[in-house]
A and B are shown apart, each in its own frame.
Chain A
Amino acid sequence: MDEIRTRLIKCFETVFPDLPAEQIPNASQSSVANWDSIAAITLINVIEEEFQITMDLEMAGELDSFPKILEYLKTTAVNA
């Protein structure tokens, strides 16, 4: 499980290179200024590439924070 978290942090670092590392675990669309709709789609694609999964674009609106994405990966995507 920690491995998923570590890899997700790497995805956030790729898409939001200016985001301080300590803020990533609590990052959300409301707290990260650059997390707009383009970044949201880019983040989904980077996560897909990192975890070799296919995510539903329609979930982009719901997956609006690091904890929610981590939870999604743990419960739905990676273990599926």
Chain B
Amino acid sequence: MTITESLAILRAAQDLPNPFQIQLACSFTPLHLKTLLAAHQQQRMPQRRAIVVEGVFGDLIGSIASASNPAAIAVVIEWQDLDPRLRYREGAAWGRTLAADLIDTARMMLGRIEQAIGQLPPHVAVAVSLPTLPLVPIFHPSTWQAGQLELLLERELSDFASRVAGRKLLNVVNRRWLDEHSPASNRFDLKSDLLIGFPYTIAHADQLADVLALNLAPRQPLKGVITDLDNTFWNGLVGEIGTDAVRWDPASRYYLHGLYQKLLAALADEGILVGIASKNDPNVVGEALKRNDLLCAQEKIFPVEVHWSPKSESVGRILKAWNIGADAVAFIDDTPLELAEVAAAHPGITCLQFPVGDYQGVWNLLRNLRDLCGKPRLSEEDALRLESIRRGAEFQQQAESGAAQSDDFLKTIDAVLTFDFETAATSARTLELINKTNQFNLNGVRLTEADWQQKLVQPGAFVLGVKYEDKFGALGTIAAVQGRQNVNRLEISAWVMSCRAFSRRIEHQTLKRLFDRFGVDRIEFKFAPTAKNGPTQEFFGTMLGHLPDNDFGIDRAQFESVCPALYHRVEEISGVTLNG
């Protein structure tokens, strides 16, 4: 991105609402880094205006400490922040005297930076960049040798980074990523540093701004990967050469498929759903998937769609089983025709070709998949997801085999709902649900941590998290409600429920619980129709007599007149049974 392009992006966005403010903390003149960071952030959140403010001039720690409640803060550390003598503009002498206390000074300064970060409000997202520029040539070894002092400095940095990375909502820029995208020899601009105090070339500032924005507001990871089998999951056509002849083993030249399997297994462990769409004989494939040398075991994969119908139909069924949109999924196949057929039928899906026999191409594919599916942190729900989907499919099959949602069926599934009014507000899962859920979503409003915290400090504010399990298994936290009590009225500004939890009357039990717990006769909802929240509209439509198109209220009597029989056992987070 050029400076001209970045200014054009910011100019076009200047009238957008709901500003997202980033504090840029650095000890050099922010200049183009400020402009480029704002522009890259703007590209990542086109609905809001990105604003970057600079802190105390020349004072990294002061800038962090004085941050006036931004949504996010970018902490850009350079060598001069470890010791001012490591700056070209600094007048202090180089030589042995500097070396004597360099490490102690660096350790102390990093400790102060860590302390300043530790005092930031917990809802502020933080991205930390470690020094990106070459060191000043102060050490006695030649520049191609890593001297002991330099290595000790690196160790201090590494220790610091590993400590601060434990903070919730803090991401550390991966220096190896930056090495790939911004060549070290083209980062430092001595003239600009000495004349105006800005040490970066524009090209380097652009890459650093890009990766800072990526770390401040990471994109949503894909939720699932659908893979072909022949010449993708394994080498060979299983229907022609047989179940024992397809290969992926490390001892063969087909290990590229083994590496692919290993990545799929790792993604499955992280809660990414993995499914199979293959044109094959299901009996043959069934035998092959029983092989005990698979590097991605069959139990990590669901569903398995194997038949001779178009793959777009398989993908459609898998998306239905997963209950997620095509834009949250990657489809991997070795055949361009199959990729094109799926892409045409499922707009938004990410189609990637498996490059058979191409070592560099497979390496790129593995890294691309990792980037598409990468998550800063894993949650309890990530471990539960596959089992939950599998159980959910069984639930749907049983529900659909008889009268869907029949009382007879719902009576028998031993459903338990746990309402958590205590810890849901601080759970990352609650905000994740609000920002990921589309179909049962009161208004589609997405919230940053800062927005979330502001809602929670309002008088009478509450957050409800809802967990569900039945005899088919636990779904984990599948719904969240945020609102506030205003005398004898309840105002709900966010209510979301995972589509995995549909058809269980959880929304009815939740509404009942809200009326009962708060002892109110009316609940007001901050509603807005979206392109995807049809199920929410239909749910409230049964009470209102029409589909809502704006804010509305529901009286207890209105709700009770349409509420079906509820068979859940209801608990609070303490485990106390309220009714059953």
Task: List residues of A whose CB falls within 8 A of some B CB.
Answer: 11, 14-15, 17, 37-38, 41-42, 45-46, 49-50, 57-58
Contact = CB atoms under 8 A, between A and B. Distances in A.
A56 to B, nearest CB: 9
Contacts of B196: 37, 41, 57
B11 A17 contact: yes
A38 B8 CA distance: 17
Contact of A14 (B7, B32, B192): B7
Contact of A42 (B8, B35, B192, B195): B35
Given A17-B11, A46-B7, A41 B31 contact: yes
B53 to A, nearest CB: 14
B4 interface: yes
A67 B202 CA distance: 27
Contact of B195 (A38, A46, A50, A58): A58
Contact of B2 (A17, A38, A41, A49): A49
B569 interface: no
Given A17-B11, A42-B35, A45-B202, A57 B192 contact: yes
B35 A57 contact: no
A45 B3 contact: yes
Interface in B1-21: 2-4, 7-8, 11
Contacts of A45: 3, 32, 202
Given A42-B35, A46-B3, 8 more contacts: A11-B4, A14-B4, A14-B8, A41-B31, A42-B7, A42-B32, A49-B3, A57-B191
B4 A49 contact: yes
Nearest to B5: A49
A41 to B, nearest CB: 6
Contacts of A41: 31, 196, 198
A52 to B, nearest CB: 11
Contacts of B192: 57
A41 B32 CA distance: 9
A50 B4 contact: yes
Among B4, B11, B31, max chain A CB count under 10 A is at B4
8 contacts: A11-B4, A14-B4, A38-B31, A41-B31, A42-B3, A45-B32, A46-B3, A58-B195
Contacts of B8: 14
A46 B2 CA distance: 8
Q: Contact size class for B? A: 10 to 19
Nearest to A17: B11
Main secondary structure of the interface of B (DSSP, over half): helix
Nearest to B29: A38
Contacts of A38: 31
Contacts, number: 33
Nearest to A56: B191
B330 to A, nearest CB: 36
Contact of B4 (A37, A46, A58): A46
A15 B202 CA distance: 16
Contacts of A46: 3-4, 7
A74 to B, nearest CB: 21
B463 to A, nearest CB: 42
A14 B6 CA distance: 10
Interface string B380-398: 0000000000000000000
Nearest to A43: B3
Contacts of A37: 196
A76 B196 CA distance: 23
B195 A57 contact: yes
A38 B31 CA distance: 7
Contacts of A50: 4
Among B7, B8, B191, max chain A CB count under 10 A is at B7
Nearest to A45: B3
Interface string B437-464: 0000000000000000000000000000
A63 B8 CA distance: 23
A15 B8 CA distance: 9
A38 B196 CA distance: 9
Closest 9 CB pairs of A and B: A45-B3, A49-B2, A49-B4, A57-B195, A46-B4, A14-B7, A17-B11, A46-B3, A14-B4
Interface in B162-193: 191-192
A17 B11 CA distance: 8
Contacts of A58: 195
B122 to A, nearest CB: 33
A37 B8 CA distance: 20
B452 to A, nearest CB: 34
Contacts of B198: 41
A57 B190 CA distance: 12
Interface in B21-41: 31-32, 35
